[in-house]
Amino acid sequence: MSSPLDRLEKVENPGYHTHTIPKGEVGELSKVYEELLEAYDAEHQNVNVMVLVELSDLLGAVQSYLERHHSGVTVQDLLDMSVVTKRAFLSGRRS
């Protein structure tokens, strides 16, 4: 199975990450993508705590995106919708 990391250069002398991850802009989807790539990189390294840190950063990036582009919508609103979507998939009904 391919990974988004396959398209990134490996770092010769790595710090936290073993791949060159493009920096995103806070409040934009590019930052969400950066944090997701960092989570993939942490998983690739088999460092579970770092994966969790990156997922936390990912939530922060989503929150910043919402604040900039969807004022009034919160991460909790997305979590609430996620519960409804899960319920629809588990029941097999979308209507």
Is 11 part of a structural domain of the chain? Answer: no
Residue 33 within any structural domain of the chain: yes
- Tally the domains of the chain: 1
Q: How far apart are CA 60 and CA 24, in angstroms?
A: 13
Question: Looking at the domain assignment, is residue 52 inside a domain?
Answer: yes
Task: Please give the structure tokens belonging to residue 32.
Answer: 């969400």
Structural domain contains residue 16: no
pLDDT in tens, 12-36: 999 999 999 999 999 999 999 999 9
The one-character DSSP state at 26 is T
Of 81, 75, 71, nearest to 56 by C-alpha is: 75
Q: Model-level pTM?
A: 0.90
pLDDT of 72 reads 96
9 within some domain:
no
- Print the domain residue range for 63: 27-90
Q: Say if 60 falls within a structural domain.
A: yes
Residue-averaged pLDDT of the chain: 96
51: in domain:
yes
Give the integer Cα–Cα distance in Å for 31 and 57.
10
- Among 29, 22, 17, 24, smallest CA distance to 7 is for 22
